[in-house]
Amino acid sequence: MNHPLLDVRDITVRYGPVTAVDQLSFALDAGETLALNGPSGCGKSSTALAVLQLRRPDGGQVRFEGRELTALTERELRPLRPRMQPVFQDPYGSLSPRHRVRDAVAEPLRIRGAWDRSDGPARVAELLDRVGLDPAYGDRRPHELSGGQCQRAGIARALACEPRLLVLDEPVSALDASVRAGVLNLLDDLQDELGLGYLFICHDRAVVRHFADRVVEMRNGRGVHT
């Protein structure tokens, strides 16, 4: 049966009396970029957390690859989690400051049981190269990289999970304008090559227009499809 990669129906997220996301629905196919755009506080990040099941929504359904995630226990979700990877705004926040980049990228391979001592290092080097980082940067720690390089390393780590969906929450907003285009081009190339679906959260309308296939404009937790 054909189903969207991600199918979000009527999700609601509340923080006490505040309704951050109010019965929001959208769907996203593999190889497609759907943007959530809107002003600060309209509920974009809360939607990202609900899609990733990092915060369980208070209502509605999140279907990923045809499976209804809100009905699953944490244990049942665990094997699905690598397939939906977040990339957050703060490039330094997604990597541990204590670990070298090569270990950060290797970790998902180890967790998945995909680490092999003979070809693991070459796989890490390949992932770093794929995101435009010289594999020698694997020896560095995050603070020894620029913001753009660090965001690329975070994307390499996400790719090590072999995801189908990336939830990109303001992935270029903290970067200098001069490096933004490079990271967006990388994301475009990866999507073409791997058929990834992108839920792209961004407050910058110009970036959204350039990058997204479709846009959901959010206001006060509600969405308008454009």
Q: Is 17 in the site for ligand ATP (CB under 6 A)?
A: no
Stretch that binds ligand ATP, among 33-41, 58-66, 115-123, 129-137 (CB under 6 A): 33-41
Q: Is 40 in the site for ligand ATP (CB under 6 A)?
A: yes
Tokens of 166: 């990336």
| DSSP structure class, residue 202 | -
Q: Is 164 in the site for ligand ATP (CB under 6 A)?
A: no
Q: What is the dihedral of CA 180, 183, 185, 191, to 10 degrees?
A: -140
Q: Is 151 in the site for ligand ATP (CB under 6 A)?
A: no
46 versus 94: smaller Cβ distance to ligand ATP:
46
Q: Is 140 in the site for ligand ATP (CB under 6 A)?
A: no
Q: Which residues contact 217 (CB under 8 A, 6 or more apart)?
A: 37, 38, 223, 224, 225, 226
Q: Is 42 in the site for ligand ATP (CB under 6 A)?
A: yes
Binder among 5, 8, 20, 150 for ligand ATP (CB under 6 A)? 20
Distance CA 84, CA 101 (A): 21
Give CA angle at 141 (136, 146), nearest 5°. 80
Angle between helices 120-130 and 101-111 (to 10 degrees): 120
**Pair 26, 226: CB distance under 8 Å:** no
Assign residue 90 a region: left if phi > 0, alpha if psi is -120 to 50, beta otherwise? Answer: beta
Distance CA 163, CA 80 (A): 9
Least separation, in Å, of the C-beta of 203 and ligand ATP?
6
16 versus 79: smaller Cβ distance to ligand ATP:
16
Stretch that binds ligand ATP, among 37-45, 63-71, 78-86, 123-131 (CB under 6 A): 37-45
Site residues (CB under 6 A) for ligand ATP, limited to 187-216? 203
Binder among 4, 22, 44, 62 for ligand ATP (CB under 6 A)? 44
Pattern 45-64, ligand ATP, x by CB under 6 A: xx------------------
16 versus 113: smaller Cβ distance to ligand ATP:
16
Residues that bind ligand ATP (CB under 6 A): 15, 18, 20, 38, 40-46, 203
